[in-house]
Each structure stands twice: as structure tokens, then as C-alpha cells.
Structure 1
Amino acid sequence: MKLAVLGGGGFRVPIVYGALLRDTGAPGIREVVLHDVSRERLEAVGHVLRGLAAGHDAPPAVRVATGLDDALRGADFVFSAVRVGGLAGRVADERVALDLGLLGQETTGPGGIAFGLRTVPVAVRLAERVAAVAPRAWVINFTNPAGMITEAMRGVLGDRVIGICDSPVGLIRRAAAALGLDPARVSPDYVGLNHLGWLRGLTHQGTDVLPGLLADDDALDRVEEARVFGRDWVRTLGALPNEYLHYYYFARESVSAIDQAASTRGETLLHQQERFYAAARARPGQARETWERARGERDATYMAETRRAAGAGERDAADLAAGGYEGVALALMAALTRGEPHTMILNVRNGSAVPGLPADAVVEIPCAVDASGVRPLATRPLPGSFLGLVQQVKAVEQTAIEAALTGSARLAVAAFALHPLVGSVATARRLLDGYRARIPELAAVIP
């Protein structure tokens, strides 16, 4: 089978290729085609992949395609992980908001809206080319903000595009491990949107073990989310929140922690990756080792500001070693092609699975996956405090999609103003002006 990777020069592409090297099932991916707007990044990543493949008997062949249609034609799967505006755009996403005293983060709040506004038109064009030259391909979307972008691509591809994220599976893994349970043998009651969801139950052998976890101080302290949010708050919620909900429940503390740091996450990654790409191209024989060091630094500092704000300490070493979205992607591909039934948390069309949300809204919920496709599983109704937040953020996402597809500044302002972390029409206008001034790709979408 053939896998086309859009954003093939991205820093995390070797993680996906490494997972393919470990996959022994059949049929498997035998060809990986990389497509990216940057030849330099493709060159560097190519060196890393060759280093990873060394010593393997029959690694998937890798080639670079300069043309998008060439990359897509004949693909069985398309992995989309593009970053419109690059890391410089991410820096602007963060800084424009911080300058106005608001959360500066790439997927949550104003930064997520700005990222979505400039990315939606590109993602839709990519979906149109997939539909034209690889209509039987499954598109696995990891482009952020993943829920919004998956929803926009669905307008072209329908059920053939699935959004993935590693945050829910990480939360479930940590919760199960804290109780001494095998994560593969528990059933999660998880519901929400991408980067905005809650683990409300965890069934093992017919019993919900989450209440026991919430009541156990020692076990709860082994779950990073509980350390970040605090025991009292997760007990008040009666659920374990996705780590990104820290930006909502502790908004002022999050803004303060980010603002007081020497650099934003985007600035840190920009400098780190500039060093990596330059070193990998200069010393191809050491590219794999250079990438592994850079990856270790990146993983160790992931969401560090939330841990600083909560005094939660460093990330657990076992959690860092467990892997993330590459496992989700591989499991999804295996279930679709090999008839290996699997229940996974994915970003899919709601239908009637989550009461209170539009049928066409993309939600992040458990799904049954096999060779026949992906079927969202019905969820229990959300309590009002959860549902209200989900409804408001979903309305923001859908408004932003419409703004991006129509070029409407009025709707773009509405998307910013309606977000619960903005809360001001006047500030929303200043955000749009600031983003248009800093990010040419956004200014081209919302002139």
C-alpha cells in the first residue's frame, strides 16, 4: 500500500515512519511519498528516514514528490500534517494574543482561530485534489486545529477523512496505568471536541473504575492531568479533563505562565527546529541522532507552562516513552485495511452521537473501526457545564470555517468575539488586525 504524507518535511514525520518500520502486519505500507513546500526540510527528513531504515530488511520505500498530484495518485492513505505559515506563523498566533493579555496558544483560543482561518482554504484545496486523483484514499488528518480542519475537509471528502489526536489516548493510558490496568483492556467514556474533552468513565470487566481512581489520592497523583488540575478540581468535575482544558479552567494562570516565560512554545520550537534542519543537512550521516536529541527536548517541554502554573513537576519518563499519534494512525490504518476491529477515539461527524451538537459537527469520541469504515458510538448526554462550553467552541469553529471559505472579515471577527477566552468584540477586531499584519497567509484569506 502507498502512504502519501502532506507536510512530508515536518519534524514529526520520522515518528510515523518509525511506526511503519515496526509494523509487521499485512497488508502494510510499502511506499511512502513525501510532499512539502520546502525542499530543504524534505532533504533533512529524508536523511533521518534513511538512518531509521538502516538495518531493516525491507523498509518501506521513500521518495519525494515535487507535485501534489504525483504524491497523491494511487495512494491508499493520505496523512495530512501541514503547517500553513510555518512556525513563524505559530509565533505570531501566540504573540498577537499575548500582547492583548489573552492566551497565546496554537490550537486553543485566539491562536487556534488564526491558525484555522489561514489553514482551512489550503486544507480544502488538498481535499479537492485527493478527491480528484485518489478518490479511494483514506485521509488521516493531523493538521491543527484538528477538529476544525477535519470538519472543513469533510465538505469535500465526507467520511473518507478522519481526524486523529494523541491527547485522549494518553489520558486514558495514564488513568489505566495509575490503577495497574492494561490500557488495552479498558473502555473509555470520553467525549468532547479536539483539545476539549473529558474522560467521564473507564470500564474494566463491566465496572466503571474511574470513581475509584478519583477517590484514591496516591493513584490520582500518578495521573499528570490530576496533578495539573488538582485533585479537588477533578473530583468536583467528576471527570478527568483533557490537558488542554487547563487553558479554560485556569485561564489567567495560563496566560501569566506563558507571558512570564523567556520564550513562547512556538519561539522555542522555531529555534530548535532551525538548528535541527541545518545540522541534519550539514551532517547527513548523523541526522537520525540529531533528530532523536531534538525530539527528546521537544517532548520533555510539551505543555511545560501548564505544569509550571500548577506546580506539577516534570512529565513522567514512562509517559514520554509510550509514544503518541503515530500509534493512533497505525491502528486506524490497520483496522481499515486488515479487518482488525478496534475502538478508537477519533474526530468524526457527530450525527446523533453527542446530544446537543449539530449533526454535521466534528466531535472527538470513541468509534468502532473495521474494514467497513468508522462508526461513531453513542455517548451519554453531557452535563450543562460541559455541554455549554462545547457548544460555544463548536460555534466558533464553524464560524471560522465559514469566514475562511468566504473571506469574510465580519465572520472572522465574530469567531474571535464568540470565543470564551476572548469575550470582547473590540478586542476581536484588534486580534484580526494584529494577525493580518503579522501573518501574510491569513491576510490573503481575510483581506
Structure 2
Amino acid sequence: LCPNAWLINFTNPSGMVTEAIMKYGHWDKVIGLCNVPIGAMMKEPETIDKTLDELIYKFAGLNHFHWHRVWDNEGNEVTKDLIEAMYDPKKDSGIPANIFDMPFMKEQLLEMNMIPCGYHRYYYRQEEMLNHMLEEYASEEGVRAQQVKATEAALFELYKDPNLNYKPEELAKRGGAHYSDAACDTIASIYANKNTHIVVTTRNNGAIPDLPEDVAVEVSSFIGATGAKPIAFGKLPTAERGWLQIMKAMEQVTEEAAVTGDYGKLMTAFYLNPQIPSGATAKRVMDELLVAHEKYLPQFAEDIARLKAEGVTIKDDVARELYEKGL
């Protein structure tokens, strides 16, 4: 209906959704957005007494799995200055509200000379982040999904009031700040051919030589009438290259499983994910998730029927309660 339309996506998982649209929807005019880079660029400069106009940012990686380096307008790299400032308790480096602020290991960041996005805590500090989530699970506050559910219920009650004319405090708890800025800036830059620097998910096209050219990456780009023109970042250090390649493989296998409904491929995607220890527990979690989300996964209908016949059910009390309520 709209052959010239651009699709600006920030439905999560934004990187995988954007890539699936390009690869399986055969639609190249799509750009994925995330608010995490915006938060970093809004907050980090002030930690070293600079403004954003005085700094040059270069991001590279995947959605929720990127790194960045920074220079001043004279070409001097200030990445290490920003890393040092991250450990000053009086300064705010822009970590999203929905991520527990577990500090990175300073020596690791100085060695890589890059600043990882907030979500890297789930990989670099996996043990501590898991312990924090288990504490939340045991508390009255509940896990993040339960917190979001309560926050959104409160927001929708407020939004029923047609006279609401202020930003509700609850919105800050949701973790989606600045999405509107990202979307409006991108749309305006395409429409007016502004060639604005924005961090987006787009086709790699050589920006990160460690990945194939046709995959989706999240990189600094100039946005104009022809869409995103990714800025070359260059090769990543050995460790970060390894992380990046396995995460991209996991994303691609996940997308293939979603499109094909291949149970074995889905299992491979689970085992590829660094967050998931391979083995029987991973398979049980996967099977329970398939059963729990049956109505959204018709491509896995035969496997779900088999699993239910084998007695697979949702063992977690909280998950089962939500499932029985149709949530």
C-alpha cells in the first residue's frame, strides 16, 4: 500500500525485529531505534565537563550489545576520561532506569578502551546481576516483568484522564526515556535529508568488518533521504569480536527458528545465548515457554502439542498464575 514508506521500529528485540523485516520481509526501508545510545550521549559529556557538541561519538555492535568510543573536536580520544568518570559516585553516566547499576570491572574497560552499553552488565557481571534478580524474585516488589506490569497499570489509569497535562513520575520507571527524540529525529532527518548523526540499527555494509555485510548492526550513522549511511567503526578487539559474533549468530538462529518453526533450531538458539547454560534445564525452560505462549506461536503447534502430551507444564508459580489469567 505504501511502497515508498519507511518503517521506524523500536519494538523489542529491536535489532532482531529490524533484521527479520529486512531479510524475511524483503523491506530495506527500515531503521531500528533504541534509547540507550541517546541516554549515554545526553549524560556522559557532562561527566567530563563537556557538551555533546564538543564530542564525537562512534558506536558499534548490536542492539542492547554495543560499545562506543569518544573523541573531542580536536581529535583527542577521551574514552578513558569517560571511563574514569563512570566511577565517580557524584556523576550520572546515563544508565537506563531498568538496569540495576552494578559497576563494570574498571580494569576490563580500560583494557578494551571502549564503553559497553548498560546491558553488558548481564554478561560481564552475570553472577551479580543474577543474584540481584533472584533477590527481586523473593521480594514483594517482584521481578522486572512484574514491576513493569504494575507501572503500566498505573500509567494507563492516569492516561484515562483527558486533562492529564504533565509527565507522570511512573514513566521514568519504565526505562524507555528519549524514544520519542530518537523517532522524531530519525523521521525529520529522512524527510529533510539532514544527514544527522544518529545511532540506529541498519544493514552493516562493512561498518563492522567482523560481521557479514548483510546483517543488521547498531552503529553510528548519518540519516538522510536514502536512509542510514553507517559510519565505519573498524575491527573490534579480540574479546569483543568474539562476543559480537556469537551474539549475532544467536540472533540469526533465533530469527530462523521464528520463521521456520524448527524446534531443533530454537534449541540451538537457546544454547548459543551466553546467558543460558546448555543442558536439560535450558530445554525445560524453552519447553515451558513454548507451552506458555502457545497462542502466539502457531508455527510450533505440533511441537507444543507433543510437549503437552508429554506432561510439560508451567512449573513456576508466578508464570503459571499469569498464564491462567491469559496474561
Give me the TM-score of the superposition, normalised by structure 2.
0.81
8 Å CA contact 1:356, 1:387 repeated in 2: yes
Per-residue CA distance 1:264-317 (angstroms, 9 max, x = gap): 111112123224324543xx334455xx32xx2342474xxxxxxxxxxxxxxx
Task: Give secondary structure in 2 for the equivalent of 1:206.
Answer: coil
After the TM superposition, which residues 140-219 of structure 1 pair with which residues of structure 2 at under 5 Å, given as runs?
140-155=8-23, 156-215=25-84, 218=88
Partner residue in 2 for 1:327: 181
* Residue identity in the other structure for 2:21: M
8 Å CA contact 1:164, 1:328 repeated in 2: yes
Q: Equivalents in 2 of 1:151, 1:227: separation in Å?
A: 30
After the TM superposition, which residues 401-416 of structure 1 pair with which residues of structure 2 at under 5 Å, given as runs?
401-416=255-270
Q: Equivalents in 2 of 1:214, 1:253: separation in Å?
A: 21
Which residue of the other structure, out of 133, 143, 151, is the alignment partner of 1:264?
143
Q: Equivalents in 2 of 1:275, 1:347: separation in Å?
A: 31
Per-residue CA distance 1:219-267 (angstroms, 9 max, x = gap): 9954255973254443243221100000001111111111211311111
* Residue identity in the other structure for 1:223: S
Q: Equivalents in 2 of 1:160, 1:416: separation in Å?
A: 30
* Residue identity in the other structure for 1:271: A
* Residue identity in the other structure for 1:142: F
Return 5+ residue gaps in structure 1 as ranges. Answer: 1-132, 303-319
Q: Equivalents in 1 of 2:228, 2:144: separation in Å?
A: 34
Which residue of the other structure, out of 396, 399, 402, is the alignment partner of 2:253?
399
Task: Give secondary structure in 1 for the equivalent of 2:27.
Answer: helix
Q: Equivalents in 1 of 2:45, 2:81: separation in Å?
A: 11
Compared CA separation, residues 430 and 227, structure 1 to 2 (3 A): closer
* Residue identity in the other structure for 2:135: Q
Measured after TM superposition, the shift of residue 215 of structure 1 is 4.4
RMSD: 2.4
8 Å CA contact 2:102, 2:121 repeated in 1: no
After the TM superposition, which residues 30-45 of structure 1 pair with which residues of structure 2 at under 5 Å, given as runs?
none
8 Å CA contact 1:213, 1:220 repeated in 2: no
Task: Give secondary structure in 2 for the equivalent of 1:343.
Answer: strand
After the TM superposition, which residues 6-405 of structure 1 pair with which residues of structure 2 at under 5 Å, given as runs?
133-155=1-23, 156-215=25-84, 218=88, 221-224=91-94, 228-261=103-136, 262=139, 263-278=142-157, 280-281=159-160, 284-289=161-166, 292-293=167-168, 296-300=169-173, 302=175, 323-405=177-259
Q: Equivalents in 2 of 1:384, 1:172: separation in Å?
A: 26
Q: Equivalents in 1 of 2:226, 2:255: separation in Å?
A: 29
Measured after TM superposition, the shift of residue 190 of structure 1 is 1.4
* Residue identity in the other structure for 1:354: I
Per-residue CA distance 1:369-393 (angstroms, 9 max, x = gap): 1223321111121011101111101
Q: Equivalents in 1 of 2:286, 2:200: separation in Å?
A: 31
Measured after TM superposition, the shift of residue 409 of structure 1 is 0.7
Task: Give secondary structure in 2 for the equivalent of 1:228.
Answer: coil
Per-residue CA distance 1:316-364 (angstroms, 9 max, x = gap): xxxx9xx512111111111111122211111001121101212221100
* Residue identity in the other structure for 1:188: Y
8 Å CA contact 2:102, 2:125 repeated in 1: no
* Residue identity in the other structure for 1:146: S
Compared CA separation, residues 353 and 299, structure 1 to 2 (3 A): same
Q: Equivalents in 2 of 1:372, 1:438: separation in Å?
A: 42
Task: Give secondary structure in 2 for the equivalent of 1:207.
Answer: coil
- Structure showing the higher helix proportion among its residues: 1
Identity %: 27
Q: Equivalents in 2 of 1:345, 1:228: separation in Å?
A: 24
8 Å CA contact 2:102, 2:129 repeated in 1: no
Task: Give secondary structure in 1 for the equivalent of 2:219.
Answer: strand
Task: Give secondary structure in 2 for the equivalent of 1:382.
Answer: coil
Task: Give secondary structure in 2 for the equivalent of 1:159.
Answer: coil
8 Å CA contact 2:61, 2:244 repeated in 1: yes
8 Å CA contact 2:44, 2:94 repeated in 1: no
Compared CA separation, residues 187 and 441, structure 1 to 2 (3 A): farther
Task: Give secondary structure in 1 for the equivalent of 2:234.
Answer: coil
8 Å CA contact 2:42, 2:94 repeated in 1: no
Q: Equivalents in 1 of 2:159, 2:58: separation in Å?
A: 43
* Residue identity in the other structure for 1:205: E
